Amino acid sequence: MKPPKYKLIAEFIKSKLESMIWQEGYKIPSETELATQFSASRMTARKAVDEMVNLGLLERVPSVGTFVRSILPQSSLLEIKNIADEILSRGHTHKMTVLSKLLLVPNDAIAISFSLQNKNVFKIIIIHFENDSPIQLEERYVNAEKVPFFLQQDFSKITAHQYLTSVAPLTEADISVEAVMPTKILKHNLQLNDNTPCLKVTRSTYSNGQPISYVVLYHPANKFRLTSAYRTAQ
Amino acid sequence: MKPPKYKLIAEFIKSKLESMIWQEGYKIPSETELATQFSASRMTARKAVDEMVNLGLLERVPSVGTFVRSILPQSSLLEIKNIADEILSRGHTHKMTVLSKLLLVPNDAIAISFSLQNKNVFKIIIIHFENDSPIQLEERYVNAEKVPFFLQQDFSKITAHQYLTSVAPLTEADISVEAVMPTKILKHNLQLNDNTPCLKVTRSTYSNGQPISYVVLYHPANKFRLTSAYRTAQ
DNA sequence: TAGTGGTCTAGACCACAAA
DNA sequence: TTGTGGTCTAGACCACTAG
């Protein structure tokens, strides 16, 4: 299984960018030059450049050349925050209760969302309290292979999210947000009235391409808002 | 200026998706077939398919074929996107109705959120439709001093957001998301049942420190998800 | 005029899946 | 065995920019 040639060229470009040898605004070798350098056809070199352009790392200027783009600090947009820290930063007290802990093989829906099939996962359900009032129900699935000691943690000392990021650095995440009506169980656990909708946040996290955790968070809508700030570069 | 051949092929595919002739899961003609049909080489047909795959509308399965992807209505929280483009990129039709347009001095709540006091703002209310079904109510306040010709735009040709970014480049934004129960008016306009919660997105946008627009977007929860992807810098 | 990216062709070989 | 997508080649012509 050898990688295709265009991947090699793309890796070459990436390494130049990572090592900062090619800095912002630098004009990279023309497609013809890259092709010659790698004994490839121009179409193949172009495909490598295509990939980097799609990633937003390079920018083409017709008739002129291809240049290193300025980097946008996009990661700060929706920070993956720790609920304990957030509550403490509001000057409130944080408490949690673990409702259940177990080891299982995920059902289809979870497995597909989480790209884990026929693998063991841990499941844990936690309720978080802010000043003794429930503010979040956390239903979390964790890749048991990658994080074998997950269930042995004392979650009153370290949150699940804190522990996971310490074991496997968070590199990618997919987040989705919906508004839902709570189920009976949810209503009971979050001490909700009849007509209170919930914010449902679903998040899959990955560490270097490996799925680590799939979590569904429910927040009573009258107590919670998800916020995010956006800033362009410069 | 005639469009390149691969664009024609891409448009052909897009039209099949928009008209729902090719539905979810449908296996589209092979690259070779497309090439023959358009008297193009396979590489050119492939480039058209590439484009649709990158847009997330098609999915390749090696050795088997290329298929129409299932589409969940979702929107990016991170990127400030244009709802019309998003709907179109799902192969659906977009329509809008302007409910009201006016010039006013903002009340306190709006003024504070929007850091505009004693200044004129335009207010506009728009309903967006995806395939004739209402998907978003947009209640927007615009800084009249910075964007004097806002109300004169034809919003069936350009969305409010498109026009604003063309006049004043978006540099900062604050976004917040809540789950709420719809008011009577909202229920009526979004054609909602009694028990459908709404996702309420509030966004303030700025251009180089100047407030440009404050917008509240309501989405029926059964039709909408907000999503976002997170990637660390390399 | 020389160099660049944008497009395009008409072939080719491969690995893989389905019949 | 056939058809598919994945990769690749060695040319080509174009419009455009810059020296």
CATH of the domain at B208: 3.40.1410.10
**For residue A152, what is the DSSP state?**
G
Answer whether residue B233 is part of any domain: no
User: Where is the domain boundary, B68, B91, B123?
Assistant: B68
Looking at residue B132, its pLDDT comes to 84
Count the domains in chain A.
2
Write the burial class of residue A195 (CB in 10 Å: 0-12 exposed, 13-18 middle, 19+ buried).
exposed
Contacts of residue A74 in chain B, CB cutoff 8 Å? 78, 231
**CA of A206 to nearest chain B CA: how many angstroms apart?**
10
Single-letter residue type at B199: L
- For B77-132, what is each residue's pLDDT tens digit? 444 567 777 777 666 778 899 998 888 776 766 665 566 656 788 899 999 988 88
With a cut of 50, say whether residue A204 has pLDDT above it: yes
- For B39-76, what is each residue's pLDDT tens digit? 999 999 999 999 888 777 788 988 999 998 765 444 44
CATH of the domain at A55: 1.10.10.10
Nucleotides of D under 7 A from a protein CB: 3-12, 15-18
Closest CA to B184 of B129, B137, B128, B216: B137
Is residue B144 domain-shared with residue B202, that is, in the same domain? Answer: yes
- For A107, phi and psi rounded to 5 degrees? -75, 175
Residue A205 β-bridge partners:
A173, A213
- For A147-192, what is each residue's pLDDT tens digit? 888 888 888 777 788 788 778 777 677 777 788 888 889 999 988 8
With a cut of 90, say whether residue A40 has pLDDT above it: yes
- For A85-125, what is each residue's pLDDT tens digit? 667 766 677 888 998 888 877 665 555 556 655 578 889 99
Domain that residue A160 falls in: 75-220
Is residue A48 domain-shared with residue A111, that is, in the same domain? Answer: no
Contacts of A65 (CB under 8 A, 6+ apart): A27, A28, A30
Is residue B203 domain-shared with residue B94, that is, in the same domain? Answer: yes
Is residue B64 domain-shared with residue B179, that is, in the same domain? Answer: no
User: Where is the domain boundary, A68, A85, A101?
Assistant: A68
The contact set of A with B (CB < 8 A) is: 18, 43, 54, 71, 73-75, 77-78, 80, 170-181, 195-200, 219, 221, 224-232
Return the residue matching tokens 């590489």. B43
CA of A17 to C1' of D9 (A): 28
What is chain B's mean pLDDT, rounded?
80
Which of B171, B181, B192, B230 should we substitute to test contact with A (largest number of A Cβ atoms within 10 Å)?
A: B230
Answer whether residue B114 is part of any domain: yes
List strand residue ranges (DSSP E) for chain A, in order.
58-61, 65-68, 94-104, 121-130, 133-143, 172-180, 198-207, 210-220, 226-231
Is residue B80 domain-shared with residue B64, that is, in the same domain? Answer: no
Instruction: Report the C-alpha gap between A101 and A122 in whole angstroms.
Output: 7
Looking at residue B120, its pLDDT comes to 82
Answer whether residue B99 is part of any domain: yes
Is residue A184 domain-shared with residue A82, that is, in the same domain? Answer: yes
| B144 neighbors B103 (Cβ within 8 angstroms) | yes
> CB of B47 under 7 A from strand C?
yes
User: Where is the domain boundary, B16, B34, B68?
Assistant: B68
Is residue A64 domain-shared with residue A173, that is, in the same domain? Answer: no
Strand D neighbours (CB under 7 Å) are A 4-7, 39-44, 47, 62-64; B 28, 30-33, 42-43, 46, 60-66
